[in-house]
Amino acid sequence: MSYKDPATRREYSKEHNQRSEVKAKKNEWQKKYQQRPEVKERRKAYRQRPEVKARVKALRQRPESKAKLKAYNKEYAQRPEAKQRQRERYHQPEVKEQRKEYYITNRKKISEQARLYYQQPEVKEQLKARSKEYQQRPDVKERMRAYHKEYDQQPEVEGKKKAYQQRPDIKEYQKTYRQRPEVKARLKAYHKEYQQRADVKERRKARAKLS
């Protein structure tokens, strides 16, 4: 077959354009081309044309376009560089002022949007999983133990807890509650973890020396 044959040229051109080095070269050239000032101006002017704006608006209203954009935005927001840029932007004084003014002006609207967002089942599941993971962190456990220890030592709290524990209905509830298999398993796991704590081991050693 002769290269002068149009079919042969088309086949060769198709194969040539599929080569990785050719694709990389074209992508590099396209990137440089898009950065030219005259190209940017032409693109800007094109996008300002009324018929182009109308066409883009219609395309963005399609369900598949909305779904694709939503998926892309979700994926983009998880990128480390995107998170870093967002943090830097939110720390700018003028952006802080704008956000503050926006929240003051649209407080009711934002509250309603947040309420609807947090009612979504998938969001509830995500928050539940995140909270569970957070509660398992050693530093969080240590902070919570220190807080509860300090809180429980307050005289008014000790009195309330004592009075609450003495109520007949609470005593009966605790008795039946602790007999549940899942509660027994949870308490067993807690006691095992408790016995492995460094502070508990130290206290046990100190008691052994005194006895």
In a domain, 180, yes or no: yes
Task: Quickly list DSSP for the chain.
Answer: --TTSHHHHHHHHHHHHTSHHHHHHHHHHHHHHHTSHHHHHHHHHHHTSHHHHHHHHHHHTSHHHHHHHHHHHHHHHTSHHHHHHHHHHHTSHHHHHHHHHHHHHTHHHHHHHHHHHHTSHHHHHHHHHHHHHHHT-HHHHHHHHHHHHHHHTSHHHHHHHHHHHT-HHHHHHHHHHTTSHHHHHHHHHHHHHHHT-HHHHHHHHHHHHH-
In a domain, 208, yes or no: yes
Q: pLDDT tens digits for 122-143?
A: 999 999 999 999 999 999 989 9
Q: How far apart are CA 125 and CA 118, in angstroms?
A: 10
How many domains does the structure of the chain reveal?
Answer: 1
Range of 184's domain?
175-211
Decide: 140 and 147 in contact? Cβ < 8 Å.
no
In a domain, 194, yes or no: yes
State the amino acid at position 146 in one-letter form. A
In a domain, 103, yes or no: no
Low-confidence residues in the chain, pLDDT < 50: 1
In a domain, 203, yes or no: yes
In a domain, 132, yes or no: no
Considering the entire predicted model, what is its pTM?
Answer: 0.42
In a domain, 145, yes or no: no
Q: pLDDT tens digits for 63-91?
A: 999 999 999 999 999 999 999 999 999 99
Decide: 194 and 188 in contact? Cβ < 8 Å.
no
In a domain, 189, yes or no: yes
User: What's residue 4's pLDDT?
Assistant: 65
How far is C-alpha 170 from the chain's CA centre? 40
User: What's residue 158's pLDDT?
Assistant: 85
Closest among 105, 104, 100, 81 to 90, alpha carbons compared: 100
How far is C-alpha 79 from the chain's CA centre? 11
Q: How far apart are CA 43 and CA 56, in angstroms?
A: 14
User: What's residue 10's pLDDT?
Assistant: 82
User: What's residue 198's pLDDT?
Assistant: 87
